[in-house]
Amino acid sequence: MSDSDHRNSLTIIDNRTGKSYELPIENGTIRSMDLRKIKESEDDFGLLGYDPAFLNTCSCKSTITFIDGDKGILRYRGYPIEQLAEKSSFLETAYLLIKGELPDKERLAVWTYNIRHHTMTHANLTKFMDGFRYDAHPMGILVGTVGALSTFYPDAKNVGQEESRKLQVRRLIGKMPTLAAMSFRHSLGFPYVLPDNDLSYAGNFLSMMFRMTERSYKPNPVLEHALDVLFILHADHEQNCSTNAVRSVSSSMVDPYSAIAAGCAALYGPLHGGANEAVIHMLKQIGSVDKIPEFIRSVKSGEGRLMGFGHRVYKNYDPRARIIKKIAFDVFEETGRNPLLDIAIELERIALEDDYFIGRKLYPNVDFYSGLIYQAMGFPTEMFPVLFAIGRVPGWLAQWIEHVKDPEQKIARPRQIYLGEECRHYVPLDDRPRRGDDEQKFGICRL
Ranges 91-95, 306-310, 376-380, 443-447, most confident = 91-95
The residues that bridge with 66 in the sheet, in sequence order, are 75
pLDDT, tens only, 256-265: 999 999 999 9
Closest CA relative to residue 208, chosen from 231, 181, 188, 179: 181
Ranges 6-10, 32-36, 311-315, 434-438, most confident = 32-36
Structure-model confidence comparison of residues 316 and 9, the more confident one: 9
The residues that bridge with 80 in the sheet, in sequence order, are 75
Q: Are 395 and 66 in contact (CB under 8 A)?
A: no
CATH 1.10.230.10 range(s) for the chain read 275-375
Given the residues 255, 311, 318, 403, select the one marked as catalytic. Answer: 311
pLDDT tier at 4, thresholds 50, 70, 90? low
CATH 1.10.580.10 range(s) for the chain read 72-274+377-403
Output the pLDDT for position 312. 78
Q: Are 12 and 23 in contact (CB under 8 A)?
A: yes
Whole-number Å distance between alpha carbons of 231 and 393? 10
Given the residues 228, 236, 255, 367, select the one marked as catalytic. Answer: 367
Q: Tell me 444's DSSP state.
A: B
The residues that bridge with 304 in the sheet, in sequence order, are none
Q: Compute the average pLDDT of residues 427-432.
A: 95
Query: What backbone phi and psi angles, to 5 degrees, belong to 73?
Result: -110, 135
Average pLDDT, the chain: 92
Asked if residue 439 has pLDDT above 70, the reply is no
Residue 289's CB is within 10 A of a number of other CB atoms, namely 15
Asked if residue 402 has pLDDT above 90, the reply is yes
- Class of residue 219 by CB neighbours under 10 A (exposed 0-12, middle 13-18, buried 19+): buried
Whole-number Å distance between alpha carbons of 196 and 369? 29
Query: What backbone phi and psi angles, to 5 degrees, belong to 68?
Result: -115, 100
Asked if residue 230 has pLDDT above 60, the reply is yes
Residue 366's CB is within 10 A of a number of other CB atoms, namely 24
**Percentage, residues of the chain above pLDDT 90:** 80
Asked if residue 243 has pLDDT above 80, the reply is yes
Asked if residue 3 has pLDDT above 80, the reply is no
Asked if residue 441 has pLDDT above 70, the reply is no
72-274+377-403: CATH topology: Citrate Synthase; domain 1 (1.10.580)
Closest CA relative to residue 366, chosen from 393, 340, 337, 392: 392
**275-375 classified as CATH 1.10.230.10:** yes
Q: What end-to-end distance do the CA atoms of the chain give, in Å?
A: 44
Q: Tell me 374's DSSP state.
A: H
Asked if residue 442 has pLDDT above 60, the reply is no
Asked if residue 253 has pLDDT above 90, the reply is yes
Asked if residue 437 has pLDDT above 60, the reply is no
**Which residues contact residue 27 at a Cβ distance below 8 angstroms, ignoring those fewer than 6 apart?**
61
Q: Are 250 and 403 in contact (CB under 8 A)?
A: yes
Whole-number Å distance between alpha carbons of 138 and 177? 12
Output the pLDDT for position 317. 82
Asked if residue 132 has pLDDT above 50, the reply is yes
Whole-number Å distance between alpha carbons of 331 and 148? 35
Output the pLDDT for position 446. 53
281 classed as catalytic: no
Whole-number Å distance between alpha carbons of 346 and 429? 65
Whole-number Å distance between alpha carbons of 350 and 342? 12
pLDDT tier at 311, thresholds 50, 70, 90? confident
The residues that bridge with 162 in the sheet, in sequence order, are none
Give me the amino acid identity at 236. Answer: D
For 300-434, where are the E strands, in sequence order?
none
367 classed as catalytic: yes
Q: What is the pTM of this model?
A: 0.91
Output the pLDDT for position 28. 94
**Percentage, residues of the chain above pLDDT 70:** 96
Output the pLDDT for position 361. 86
The CA distances from residue 148 to 124, 129, 143, in Å, are 11, 10, 9
Q: Do strands 65-68 and 20-24 pair parallel, antiparallel, or not at all (unpaired)?
A: unpaired
